[in-house]
Chain A
Amino acid sequence: MTTTSFHMDATATTVVEILSGVLETTPDALVEEPLLGAYDWDSVAILEALVALEGAFGVEIDLQALHHQLTAGDLIELVRATLTEHLGAS
């Protein structure tokens, strides 16, 4: 499933900020064009995003799932789901 529009809460804002840093673009541009394939979304970028997101949210994110996301919105959903799961577990 591909998420193309998303609600900009605090989680989304942080994800977009981190992601735009990794993709060397701006948060506004990323919201405008959320398709990750439009940027250099290669394995190096995926790992940089993984490390930065895990650092910012303090949770471990599923690397395989991260690898399969297509848009910034998908990524936000993945982080939200991870956070929910983490809260449930603890």
Chain B
Amino acid sequence: MGGEDTIMNATQLIEAVRSAVAGGRAPDPAVRLALAVERDPTLLRRVGAALRSLDPEASGLRAVRLSVLGTGTLGALPDLLRATLVSSGLAPRIQVGEYGRFEMELAVGAFQEERPDAVLCMLSQEFFLPAVPQGMPVKEVVAHIETRLDELCGLLAGAAERTSATLILNTVPLSRSVRDSFIAVRDRALLAQAWHRLNADLLGLAATEPQLAVADLAGLLALEAATARDRRLHSYADLPYTDAALLLLAQETRRVLQAQCGLSRKVLALDADNTLWGGVLGEDGAHGVKLGGLYPGKAYKELQQTACGLREQGVVLVLASKNDASLVEEMLCGHPDAVLRPDTFSVLAANWDPKAGNLSRAADSLGLGIDSFVFMDDSPYEREHVASELPQVAVVPADGDPAHLIERLLQQGWFDVPELTATDHQRADLYRSRALRKDYSGAFSSSEDYLRALGITLTPALATPFTTARIAQLAARTNQFNLTGVRFDEIATGEMLDSADHLVASFSVSDRFGDEGIVGAAWMACEAHEWRVLNLVLSCRVLGRGVELAITDWLFDRAAEAGAARVVASFVLSAKNSVAADTWERAGMTPLSEEEDGTRTFSVELAGRPPVAPAWIALPSTDDQENSL
């Protein structure tokens, strides 16, 4: 269910697992994270089968011993457990109880031979029901259920005395074939009541017995499209549950053990634009973004409330946003519907640096491992960037309908803990005081390989009547990367198209994630000896990749071809364009003058000018370009 983030398909995933196991290793972090979000039981049981020969002690993961007992055939459960446990960094040694000896195993403690850390008891309805409930008076069935629960409690209490292992149970769904065999409406209600009480009592055991954990399988099944039972499989092989239901049980078991072994995540790093609110702060302003009120603003507010709730329970929050720090601060302080305030975050990294570097620095300043991070972002670019630079970080996609964000963040149980302590409630504050809030600065360094792999292509083209509307729209809407603030409209742009001493160009960018279309535009005044940049704008969607430098190279080359000796440009500071303040210096231009209002003018001599475009940006071949010109 990784959507476009699924880097690996099923075949690749299983091959990656097999080759790791063949090499005596656990699958690497990227493969394990892909397993963690995988929802296909057929694939996961094959992965689990491939993991059977992994030696837990030599795997490099946390070894854990698990006994699995069941009141029916276990089927794929051990393999599904292997796959899900390995996904969260646990390497299980699984011992399986003998078929048909559930009560005996619990009573005599045979499971103890391997000295397990945990014992999973897969319960099914057969344990609690009379052999043939059909046709029995419902009161007798109810009495039988109650007796069996008492017997189970006795068995569990005995087992708990003999082992220090955690005993994991599950709540039990009641099949239609039993429910519907009672034709009196009132009888069915009584049976259902008894059954709900049974499950409630099972859950109650976890509340009173610290050694017991209960997975609410019945509750989860009610929420999933998965069928609990396939009558054919039950009839043929006494399999009480489908693979889909067993996967739910395996995942809940994984959550219990992961929390117990301290392998849960502690930090949630959140993107801001289109994750914590709808829209782009730098473009729309704090008044323009969608937060609170009606859908979709409501959905973003609910995500903020959820993140805040996690923080209350000890999860450390980090903001990782490509934005001007002052804008974000203003938004978080001033927006009436902002639930997350600046001091809710232990680290605020609102800047224009690559996010992987920001996350690493946040981990350093918090004194926490990068493998305790979950990172949520709507941009596939940012997600893949972080995933490739920091494969230990669990990456959660925040694109698509914002109403899905909460479940996507929570459903893995990344942050589960066995129990909350006083320290958990204070943790976020502790980490906040430990981490000095910094505005990180820095340039691409370790990211170059990633950018190269991204395959960014810049396609410059002279403006045409078909593109002037989009170019004028960019002029009107772009606030951050807008170098002079002059907003040429469609008419002014159209006039320049027909003028011999002007040039208007559009710039399209594509990469392996897709085609962004026209994201930049430049307006030039072209005299024989000197060209002047009237304005250059670039959508914030493509900032931070060096695209602007490939654009300036292209513009300077056009000027040189036309016989000009130099290009002159200026930067006019506005409230929102500080991100672009050093563009002309980075493009190799020399400052000429600075006026009182902060406007700075630059120039470059074209003869012998070294190109500045980064190597990872490709331009279409010259032939193609000439065709497009």
Contact = CB atoms under 8 A, between A and B. Distances in A.
Interface string B208-237: 000000000000000000000010110011
A75 to B, nearest CB: 16
A63 interface: yes
A33 interface: no
Interface residues of A, number: 12
Contacts of B243: 51
Contact of A47 (B41, B46, B75): B75
B235 to A, nearest CB: 9
Looking at A48, A50, A51, which has the most chain B CB atoms within 10 Å of its CB?
A: A51
B254 interface: no
- Interface-centre pick from B40, B233, B236 (highest chain A CB count, 10 A): B236
Nearest to A63: B232
A24 interface: yes
B239 interface: yes
Contact of A55 (B42, B49, B75): B42
A47 B42 contact: no
Contact of A48 (B45, B232, B236): B45
A37 interface: no
A51 B42 CA distance: 8
B46 A21 contact: yes
A25 to B, nearest CB: 13
B49 A47 contact: no
A48 B237 CA distance: 11
A48 B242 CA distance: 11
Contacts of A24: 49
Interface residues of B, number: 17
B317 interface: no
Nearest to B76: A48
A43 B236 contact: yes
Interface string A47-86: 1101110011000000100000000000000000000000
Given A48-B76, A55-B42, A43 B237 contact: yes
A63 B236 CA distance: 9
B236 A47 contact: yes
Contacts of A51: 41-42, 230, 233, 242-243
B45 A47 contact: no
A50 B231 CA distance: 13
B244 to A, nearest CB: 9
Interface string B69-100: 00000011000000000000000000000000
Contacts of B75: 44, 47
Interface in B4-30: 14
Interface in B231-255: 232-233, 236-237, 239, 242-243
B42 A52 contact: yes
B162 to A, nearest CB: 31
20 contacts: A21-B14, A21-B46, A24-B49, A43-B236, A43-B237, A44-B75, A47-B75, A47-B237, A47-B239, A48-B45, A50-B232, A51-B41, A51-B42, A51-B230, A51-B233, A51-B242, A51-B243, A55-B42, A63-B232, A63-B236
Interface of B: 14, 40-42, 45-46, 49, 75-76, 230, 232-233, 236-237, 239, 242-243
Given A48-B76, A51-B41, A51-B42, 16 more contacts: A21-B46, A24-B49, A43-B236, A43-B237, A44-B75, A44-B237, A47-B75, A47-B233, A47-B237, A47-B239, A51-B230, A51-B243, A55-B42, A56-B42, A63-B232, A63-B236
